[in-house]
Structure formats: C-alpha cells, structure tokens
Amino acid sequence: MADGHQLFLLQGGSELFPALVEAMDAARRVIHLETYIFEFAGAALSVAEALERAAMRGVLVRVVMDGVGTPRMPAEWRTRFQRAGVHCRTYAPLGRLGLLIPSNWRRLHRKLCVVDGTVGFCGGINIIDDRDDVVLGRLAQPRLDFSLRVAGPLVQDMVDTMEQLWWRLQAVRKARRREFVAAWEALRETLPAGDFSAMLGLPESQTSAPDGDGSGSQPAALSGVQGARAALLLRDNVSHRHDIERAYLKAIGEAREEVVIANAYFIPGRKLRRALSIAVQRGVRVRLLLQGKYERFLQYRAARPVYRRLAEAGVEIHEYEPSSLHAKVAVVDQRWATVGSTNLDPLSLLLAREANVMTRDRRFARLLHQRLDEILRDASERLDLSSLQNRPWRDRLLDRLAFGLMRATLFLTGHRY
C-alpha cells in the first residue's frame, strides 16, 4: 500500500461516464478499457463516442469485453471502431457449447480504465445506462453502484495488469505461450511506463490531443480526497486467488466499532460468515446493504439460508428498495474502505477476474460511510429475523435447492463451499 493517491468517489454512470469522457478526450497516448458489459445504447454511447474520437486523432485505444457480459457488438459500432482504429478483444468467447463447459465459467468481471498511464478508474459500474438492466429491463430508478477515479502509484499496477491480459489475449490469437512470454518481457524493457505509442510506431505528432491534461485536473463536483494511502487488489486464477477475500477478512477481524458492506450478490463462505459473526460477538455493529430485487434464481434463492444464519448471529440485513443494487463497496470503522467489482459470493471469489481499490484513508472512509449510511436510513428495508425463520415451506424448498445447486456448481470446478 502506497501514499500519495487522489481518490474521487463516483456514484452511478451519471458520474462515471462524464469523468471517463473528460479523461478520454484529453488522452495523448493510450486508453485501455476493460469491462464486463459494454452496452452501445443510452448514456453509455458517450463513452463509445469518446473512444472513437480518441482513436481517430491517433491515440492507441484498446477495449476488452467479456464474452458473456458482451457476447456481440452491434454491427454499426464494430464498423465504426474498425474505421477509427479502436482495437477490441473479447475475453473467453463461449463457443458452441457455451456455459455447459465448466472452464467457461471463468469470466472477466473487473471494470478498469487507464488513460495515458496516469489516471485510472476502478469500480463496479459497467458501461451500461443506469436505467437499463440485462435481466430486469428498464429500471424506474437508476441502479446503485460506485466507482473511483484514481491518480497515484497504484495506476501503474492497473497498467501492468491490463497490459498482461491484453498480451495474453494477443498470444491466444497469434502465438504460442512461450513466444508470447519472450516477446512480452523484451517489449516491457523498451517502453516507458504507460507509453504504448511505440508499439504502433506512431510519431509524437500523431499522439497529440486537444489542450488540457486528463491526468492532473480534478473533475468538478466529485467527492474525494488527496494524498490517500491505497492499493490495488486483484483476483485471478493464478497468483492472486484470495487477495481480495483476505483483505476483507483482515479488516473485519480488526473491526472494533462498525462494519458496513454493500454488495449485490452476497453469499459469503464459512470464513467470511464466521468473521462477521465473531465481530458481532465483540460488540461490532455489522450492517449489510444487499440486493432487494429478484434477478436470478441461484443468487437470490441461495442467499436466503445464509441471511437467516447471519441474522440469527446479530448481523443487520437491509435490502435496497428503490432500484437494482449493483455496488461492491465496504467500510470498516470509518478507517478502511474498498470500492471495486467483487461480489462476495463463491462464484465471484473463486472464478472471476476482479479488481478492487483498498484504502486506509480515514477521510475517504468517512465519505463513503456517510453515503452508505444515508442509503441504509432512507432507501432500504431491514429484514426481520422472524420473517427469515418462518418463510413458507415452498420458498424454503426453493432456497435449499438453489443452495445445493450452487454447491454442486462449485464442486464441478474443483472447489468446496
């Protein structure tokens, strides 16, 4: 964890997309974007148009989309991106058998963007209109989600992890793994950090942008702090399998006053359930802000038995009422906070590529806590313990069925819940 970061909290696409567009329009060398869903409609079009503009003026633009979240690009935008020079890749396309193959369950779920190696974005917000939902359809109110605009040392970590994935995807397309590793190591030694213009042989005049610097200016009307201590946490299937979960467990284990977690798909495993229960026994107040809308059978139903156990242990469970909740954030004792893409369910913690920013800056933690506290107070409903204990038998049967299916799914991937 390093000092010297700028952290600006962004709520919803209504705040994220203008900040992305501002940075992209000031880009001089490279834009690299990773997302699970890229919807080429509504408010999300502003981001697609900014990527197109940047590529047309000579900026190297790379976009990676997940093969499940974004299985197809609209033909119009595929053509527009090709003409502008935007480079697009799909992470793990499903193929004919789709999700019937367990290896296809490993997905790219992180939402990252880096501009010129100096300004980064990390959070849970897909490139999709706040009122559009792939399951629920058109929402009456904007979904609740958060992201961060970041400047500081951890942006280089974002650059490194995005470069590695990009060249891995390139290797799958063009070369064997051994050739890719050699080329990658040689390439890294020749390039300055964050400068990709040499890869295409672009002269400096071709990578110029309009006046302004997307890395140094602070977006107007955003809430944030300067000089924060922060780190980038990743989850993958090789060297960072448990980093994010361990960070949660450590923070909860050190809690003395309060834990607040807002998470869209919350089905914690034994370690996390135990950590929350022990925290309550120590006198810590634990509040969970969770999804109140029925989206998917497995996530919604399998969570109910876990909710009951946590409520019996004294954990406060609140469901978000106005719209869909998609957030993945947490605050502990108003001194530790995280914002990212990680759901606290076993499939996400074991199968998906994720990215979170963690900070121990008290100013930012208080800022996020204040936002969550207002939502918990004004826009959520607390689940009553008796209602969880006395659910109709049909519901309890479906809950147990979903819970069993989830465990069976994990078993097929070689994991236990």
| Rounded Cα distance, 48 and 32, in Å | 13
383 three-state secondary structure: coil
| Rounded Cα distance, 99 and 105, in Å | 6
Measured in degrees and rounded to the nearest 5, phi and psi for residue 405 equal -65, -40
Measured in degrees and rounded to the nearest 5, phi and psi for residue 343 equal -80, 150
5 is catalytic: no
415 is catalytic: no
Contact 69, 157 (CB under 8 A): no
333 is catalytic: yes
32 is catalytic: no
Of the listed 32, 293, 326, 369, which one is catalytic? 326
Of the listed 66, 116, 130, 361, which one is catalytic? 116
| Rounded Cα distance, 184 and 174, in Å | 13
Of the listed 32, 109, 293, 369, which one is catalytic? 109
For residue 392, CA distances in Å to 303, 318, 319, 397, 399 come to: 16, 20, 19, 9, 11
Of the listed 32, 111, 293, 369, which one is catalytic? 111
Residue 205 CB contacts under 8 Å (≥ 6 apart), including other chains: none
Q: Which two tokens stand for residue 45?
A: 């079009």
| Rounded Cα distance, 49 and 353, in Å | 27
Closest to 123 in 3D by CA, of 144, 148, 105, 98: 148
Of the listed 32, 293, 318, 328, which one is catalytic? 328
* DSSP assignment of 321-364: -SS-B--EEEEETTTEEEEES--SSHHHHHHSBEEEEEE--HHH
| Rounded Cα distance, 35 and 83, in Å | 22
Of the listed 66, 145, 333, 399, which one is catalytic? 333
Rounded to 10°, the helix 297-312/393-412 angle is: 110
Q: Where in the sequence numbering do the catalytic residues fall?
A: 109, 111, 116, 326, 328, 333
